[in-house]
Amino acid sequence: MKLRLALVVLAIGLASVSCSTKSKDSAGSNRVSESELARPGPGRSWQDYTAPSRNGYSDRVFFAYDRFDLDEGAQATIRAWSEWLRAHGDASILVEGHADERGTREYNLGLGAKRATAIRDMLIALGVNAGRIRTISYGKERPAVAGDDESAYQQNRRGVARPSTGGA
Amino acid sequence: MPFHPPISRLCRRLVLAGLLAAIVPAAASAQLIIRIDDPNFEPLPIAIVAPQASAGEERTTAEQIAGVVTGNLERSGLFRAIDPDAFVQRDGSEVLAPRFNDWKGIGADALVTGRVFHRTNGDIRIEFRLWDVSTGRQLVGRALETRRVNWRRLAHKMSDAIYQRLTGESGYFDTRIVYVAESGPVLSRVKRLAIMDQDGANHRYLTNGENLVLTPRFAPSVQEITYLEFVGQKPRVYILDIDTGQREIVGDFDGMTFAPRFSPDGNKIVLSMSRDGNAEIFAMDLRTRATERLTNHQAIDTSPSFSPDGSKIAFDSDRSGRQKIYVMNADGSGVRRISNRPGRYATPVWSPRGDLIAFTKILEGIFYIGVMQPDGEGERILAQGYLTEGPTWSPNGRVLMYYKKRRGGTAQLYSIDLTGRNERLVETPVSASDPAWSPLLKN
């Protein structure tokens, strides 16, 4: 156990070295520089992690009209969520499924549920414990963007992850 | 806020006092009938005289009753009320002895006269008569009595009697509408259940707006509604008692329950449940609490609606790859698709008469409200718009109400006659969606 812990510490140390972005040549070639590693580790908040300006991750994925399948961009985002969840073992996640307003109200509740479930299933496939994931469908009731045009519809056909600490 | 007595008290109080005079055999007055489905139809000119009344207070009520009856009949699109300023006989003698030539002279085909009394016990009584002006025959003579606070119901029942006698169809004026009142910004819309009389009177809110509520539907008793409420991030189907405000969850399910509707006998609720992420249709017996799974398919199965005899259920499903309307037996057997044209077909709602199914259709970015026969034949589109959905039937199966949103606008309620004529805005205090029309109120 102690050995394993040591190895992990060593591995993190090595990763930090390999990811160092600053090196001060002027101080001599033997000098080891240090910098923070962008990682989904403890202390890195969900808001920070999913801020698009930081690393391109997002708290949401988008769907095609009347579809609930996950395209490659959505899958990459969900993979990033699973990594954050791995690093935050005490966190659980609420996955919201949303639809645009171009469907009937009740069907869209069903569609939102399918979208949230598709995300949940992928997180489980990536190793996240099912007990840490809750889903909810809002159908077309909680648009992200106001507007009666395709660009608004696109942004409203979405799945959104909201973490919370404590049990799901 | 208007006072709302419990229905049961109304039952005891509203006395249908019976006929004042014998009904003339139908054949004798066959000439005065509105043929609603005639393409050359024109609204029937009717003179509605404010009921005679002695005291000042009675007179005010009499004028108000005449106003409600006139509003009801005109909104139906089937009647044209003649301006009272044109009336020639206005000395009170018209109540029992109309001079039919005077009424013919101003173009009236039908005439309504009556008397109003305030009783010392707080009741109000109206005696009214409907006359066929061309033959001079009395078509309806009836007395109605209730507590004064319920005078509007007298006017609605009077309207129903006139409508029924002249159209051959039962009326729909003594009814209420429950709907979702919408306010606030689009991104954080506040939705509240609201109820009002069919003509917009006696409006009140049933929920406070704290939780998102959707898709209310009446129980056949008109005392309860079933609807969807998001309580603590759990969307679940509830039953709400309109008078007591008591709320009860329907079933103890893990997953989201939605799209509820009562069975015609009121003993069951049919709804969608999405437990493992996929919506299936279930029926729950409200007495035994037993649930029965009716569909089992990886598609979204939702918006179930019973046929009025309770033997069948219409629903929509995307099991063919696109949303279409299906009909199955009430036990889930014998599923067959009934909508076969292009487009998405949704929200089937069986007419109370059983002859038609109203639906929402989405084709090439436009939403439509239409009707088809239960076998899928005879599709007719009645209304369309940028966003319009969720039809509900008047209890006589003659009028549809739905909500409509224009591009860039907010949702409003509209009603339309089954002929496709007479599309009307239903006035509400704020933006409105998800209307449900009650059955005729019970006595």
Render pLDDT for B331-350 as a digit per residue (tens, 0 to 9). 999 999 999 999 999 999 99
Residues paired with B392 in a beta bridge: B401
Of B167, B190, B215, the residue that ends a domain is B167
Rounded CA-CA distance B278/A114 in Å is: 6
Q: Is B351 on the interface with A (CB under 8 A)?
A: no
Residues B103 and B227 in one domain: no
Judge whether residue A5 has pLDDT over 90. Answer: no
Whether residue A77 is found in the same domain as residue A143: yes
* pLDDT number for residue A43: 64
Examine the pLDDT at B13 and tell me if it is beyond 60: no
Q: Which of B57, B52, B51 is CA-nearest to residue B118?
A: B57
What one-character DSSP code corresponds to residue A153?
H
Residues of A in contact with B255 (CB under 8 A): 113
Residue B84 CB coordination number (10 Å):
14
DSSP label of B52: B
Verify whether the Cβ–Cβ distance B187 to A144 is below 8 Å. Answer: yes
Same domain membership, residue A11 and residue A80: no
- For residue A110, give the nearest of B233, B274, B434 by CB distance: B274
The Cα of B287 is separated from the nearest Cα of chain A by a number of Å equal to 26
Interface check for B212 against chain A (CB to CB < 8 A): the answer is yes
Q: Number of A:B CB contacts under 8 A?
A: 101
Q: Are residues B107 and B183 in the same domain?
A: no
pLDDT at B113 over 90: yes
Mind listing the pLDDT tens digit for each residue in B281-333?
A: 999 999 999 999 999 999 999 999 999 999 999 999 999 999 999 999 999 99
Strands lying side by side in the sheet with B431-437: B204-205, B190-197, B176-183, B431-437
Of residues A49 and A79, more confidence is placed in A79
For residue A29, the model assigns a pLDDT of 60
Q: Each residue of B227-253: pLDDT tens digit? A: 999 998 999 999 999 999 999 999 878
DSSP B202: S
Q: Is the pLDDT of residue A14 over 50?
A: no
Report yes or no on A147 lying in a domain.
Answer: yes
Nearest neighbour of B233 by CB, restricted to A113, A136, A141: A136
> Is residue B2, in this structure, part of any structural domain at all?
no
- The residue segments making up the domain with residue A93 are 41-165
> How many angstroms separate the CA of residue A45 from the nearest CA in chain B?
23
pLDDT band of residue B56 (cuts 50, 70, 90) is confident
Check whether residue A47 and residue A75 sit in a common domain.
yes
Instruction: Kindly write down the DSSP assignment for every residue of A84-147, as one continuous string.
Output: HHHH-TTEEEEEEEE--SSS-HHHHHHHHHHHHHHHHHHHHHTT--GGGEEEEEEETSS-SS--
Residues B148 and B182 in one domain: no
Measure B364 CA to nearest chain A CA, in Å.
11
Across A21-25, B367-371, B417-421, least confident range: A21-25
- Does residue A55 share a domain with residue A17? no
Q: Which residues are within 8 A (CB) of B316 and not within 5 positions of it... i.e. 6 or more apart?
A: A104, A107, B301, B302, B303, B323, B324, B325, B326, B345, B346, B347, B348
Q: Are residues B160 and B250 in the same domain?
A: no
Chain A interface test: which of B182, B229, B258, B317 (most A C-beta within 10 Å):
B258
Enumerate the residues of chain B whose CB falls inside 8 A of the CB of residue A130. none
A109 and A146 inside one domain: yes
Domain count, chain A: 2
CATH number, domain of B162, equals: 3.40.50.10070
Token output for B440: 């005729």
- The CATH number of residue A140's host domain is 3.30.1330.60
- Residue A28 inside a domain? The answer is no
| B309 token code pair | 């005899």
Tell me which residue range forms the domain holding B360.
176-437
Total of domains in chain B: 2
Helix/strand/coil for B78: coil
Q: What is the mean pLDDT of residues B56-75?
A: 96
Tell me the per-residue pLDDT of B258-270, one tens digit each, with 9 for 90 and over: 999 999 999 999 9
Q: Give yes or no: residues A80 and A145 share one domain.
A: yes
Given this model, what pLDDT does residue B394 score? 98
